[in-house]
Amino acid sequence: MPEPIPVAALSEAEAREELAALAARLARWDQLYFQDEAPEVSDGEYDAAKRRHADIEARFPHLIGEDSPSRKVGARRAEAFAPVTHGTPMLSLDNAFSDEEAAEFDARIRRFLRLGEEVVAYTAEPKIDGLSASLLYRDGVLVRGATRGDGRVGEDVTANLMTLEEIPHRLSGGGWPELIEIRGEVYLGHAEFAALNAAAEAAGQKTYANPRNAASGSLRQIDPAITAARPLRFFAYAWGELSAPFATSQTEALDRYRQWGLPVTPQARRVEGAAGLLAAYAALEAQRPFLPFDIDGVVYKVDRLDWQQRLGFVSRSPRWAIARKFPAERARTVLEAIELQVGRTGAVTPVACLRPVTVGGVVVERATLHNADEIARKDIRVGDTVVLQRAGDVIPQVVEVVEAARPPGAAPFVFPQTCPCDLKTPLMRETTASGAETIVRRCTGEFACPFQRVEHLRHFVSRRAFDIEGLGEKQLRAFFDEGLIRGPADIFRLARDTDALDALRQRDGYGETSVANLVAAIEARRAVPLDRFIFALGIRHVGESTALILARGYGEAAAFRTAMDKVAAGDAEAIAELDAFDQIGDAVIQAAGAYFREPHNLRLIADLEAELMILPVAPPRGDSALSGKTVVFTGALEAMTRDEAKAQAEALGAKVAGSVSRKTDLVVAGPGAGSKLKQAAELGIEVITEAQWLERARS
Ligand code: IVH
């Protein structure tokens, strides 16, 4: 498994592809978690995937689609219960994974409220690992209970919630608003969970993976009598609709809940400042093993409700609260071998082959070891017992070696000098432009290395390139090994090679239909737009968006080819022309020159040209409302960093300037904007807020 590319280094094409892959994975996990109550991954892995998705979206905001997971909360509801539309949506919480992130939460709040030295008080509450529920009380009487569902519409589970002993049908005391929707967590304690599973096992029934799934399954029973038989419990911690305010702080709200007879976590504390947040986390972490129920972190909430009001929400979570999660689980296992994995460009990644082990609910067999230096630094040897972790990262990590468990004779790992392919091509340490060695090792075999060739073919047929269906990794590898497809042009030759196709039809697993489908999929791509063609070539540093810039810049395949040949030959004029394209820099110029000097590549292109019709690409239409406009950002931005704002503006065809002048078309002003705002007003330049900017950027 290769190391994930840092978000900052992702090309747009890679980002697009990864967003789609992550969205699909998250949707599947949501389904398993919410509907089937059978999670396949740990919370840590789920959170990591969600976080990476959010990070990528933050960097490429224009890739945020209508159906992005970031716009959803939870998953769809089941069909068995009547739908309940929540008066105010039931949102989720943003996560923090470290002390630094918790401190940054405090800093962010103070910046947002512009508090200066003033200390912010928070509540720190255990994050109970159950499922959230909404209880609607009218005149103190429970009239409706619902699950969260997708956050907007949940399920009416009134009858079931009424069976919980801890949920009062009538509030005690007094002073409640005429209408109040109390929110909290339905959960199952450890002892109750163990008893429930033991009974299920004795009866030969399916057991639950964890208390949260058991609570969810128990609450969402069609027959309330079954729910009644399950010892579900409840903690109240929030509210939705209110006919009138009933408190001025979260602490006061929790006190009122207690007075009304609602259970509130006894561990909830009021703390002050970042130091208070960290101390509360440490305290709960220490208590965690002794608590009678599962918690997966600490929820921090700004205590003052007027401040909560001012802080408001960012898309799907409140700005005034955050969940500080406990770190993901660790496990030990034996490292059985270290394999090398070769990527498309020859970069070699060492991969740990592990004795399968469950970490946080998933079986792990492979983990990236990143590079030779990492292996040396951690002194990882074959035969070692290693500590694995799945943390704020989708890919499992080898954290360290358990040296005491090292078998005698385990030798330090010697990084192979040659590629694992049959050719045993030498591996080289990559050097930077200045001649310094980097940690990346590459197979120098390029087109001779079968691994690189297969990876190259995979890139060529991938969705964003030629998008040929039916040529998956397995097929490609098989066709490659048999010599049916050795290079990209062979794909198109195969489609018209009647003998080869006849032979394919005779094979196991292949029939008339699958061969016909494959041929149709290939033929459908014989006419290909120039940008896809360029992207598919796999020139280093030429991702999908760069390919599009090149295609638009040159317009036609012939012009592109002529220009590239000149760039390869060092023609100053051609290089200057390429350099003048937006967003094209030295790296692309160098890479293009090298690519078009390589005889193998020229042959590959010539072969392809004989098979394809490469369609011209029109220059940008320039019809984005922002294209060609000069924009100035000033003041504090909330939803994005300056760099992101700039990237987003440029992606929409706008130019970003540092100062306001007559040439400025638009000023985006956040809190704290000063002189630039004044200048804009003097010059009569349109000024909009960050939120308005985001709206325009999306439309
Ligand atoms: S406050 C607007 N407080 O965590 C957010 N949530 O990821 C309102 N949870 O859906 C939630 N303990 O199911 C809050 N003390 C607590 C919580 C808590 C557990 C759950 C809840 C929520 C999820 C957010």
Q: In this structure, which residue's CA is closest to atom 22 in ligand 1?
A: 92
* Tens digits of residue pLDDT in 67-84: 777 766 554 444 478 889
Report the alpha-carbon distance of residue 683 to residue 694 in Å, rounded. 24
362 — pLDDT class (breaks 50, 70, 90): low
- 145 sits in the region (left: phi over 0; alpha: psi -120 to 50; else beta) called beta
Least confident of 109-113, 272-276, 507-511: 507-511
Mean pLDDT of 463-478: 88
The identity of residue 250, as a single letter, is: Q
User: Average pLDDT of 256-261?
Assistant: 98
Who's near 593: CB < 8 A, 6+ residues apart? 567, 568, 570, 575
Cα 484 from Cα 500, distance rounded (Å): 8
Lowest mean pLDDT among 222-226, 330-334, 434-438, 587-591: 434-438
- State the pLDDT confidence band at 393, using cuts at 50, 70 and 90: very low
Q: Which of 88-92, 307-311, 510-514 comes out lowest in average pLDDT?
A: 510-514
- Specify whether the CB–CB gap between 311 and 109 falls below 8 A: yes
Instruction: Express each pLDDT in 70-121 by its tens digit.
Output: 766 554 444 478 889 999 999 989 999 899 999 999 999 999 888 888 999 9
pLDDT in tens, 519-539: 999 999 999 999 999 999 999
Residue 280, number of CB atoms within 10 A of its CB: 24
How many CB atoms within 10 Å of residue 418?
A: 14
- Looking at the chain, the whole-number percentage of residues with pLDDT higher than 70 is 93
Q: Is the pLDDT of residue 1 over 50?
A: no
Q: What is the 624 CA–ligand 1 centroid distance (Å)?
A: 40
Least confident window among 58-67, 367-376, 388-397: 388-397
Give me the residue label for tokens 């005034």: 320
Mapped onto helix, strand or coil, the DSSP state of residue 158 is: helix
Q: What is the mean pLDDT of residues 42-50?
A: 75
What CATH number has the domain spanning 15-46+58-66+328-445? 2.40.50.140
127 is catalytic: yes
Q: Which CATH superfamily is domain 529-615 in?
A: 5' to 3' exonuclease, C-terminal subdomain (1.10.150.20)
**pLDDT tens for residues 485-496?**
999 999 999 999
Query: DSSP per residue over 652-690, as a string?
Result: TT-EEESS--TT--EEEE-TT--HHHHHHHHHT-EEE-H
Confidence at 207, pLDDT banded by 50, 70, 90 = confident
Q: Which of 442, 466, 395 is nearest to 540 (CA)?
A: 442
Looking at 292-346, which runs of residues are DSSP E strands?
295-302, 313-314, 317-318, 321-325, 330-342
Given the residues 50, 72, 127, 566, the one annotated as active site: 127
Q: State mean pLDDT over 165-183.
A: 96
Query: 636 pLDDT band (50/70/90 cuts)?
Result: confident
CA of 143 to the centre of ligand 1 (A): 22
Q: What is the dihedral of CA 6, 8, 13, 16, to 10 degrees?
A: 80
**Class in CATH terms, 83-315:** alpha beta
pLDDT number for residue 124: 98
Residue of the nearest CA to atom 16 in ligand 1? 127
Confirm or reject CATH 3.40.50.1970 for domain 630-698, answering yes or no.
no
Q: Is 381 helix (H, G, I), strand (E, B) or coil?
A: coil
Cα–Cα distances in Å, from 2 out to 52, 336, 348, 389, 471? 16, 18, 9, 16, 22
> Confidence class of residue 689 from pLDDT cuts 50, 70 and 90?
confident
Q: Where are the domains of the chain?
A: 15-46+58-66+328-445, 83-315, 529-615, 630-698
Question: What is the C-alpha separation between 411 and 485, in angstroms, rounded?
Answer: 41
Output the pLDDT for position 360: 59
Query: Which ligand 1 atom sits closest to the C-alpha of 317?
Result: 2
CA of 454 to the centre of ligand 1 (A): 47
Contact 87, 240 (CB under 8 A): yes
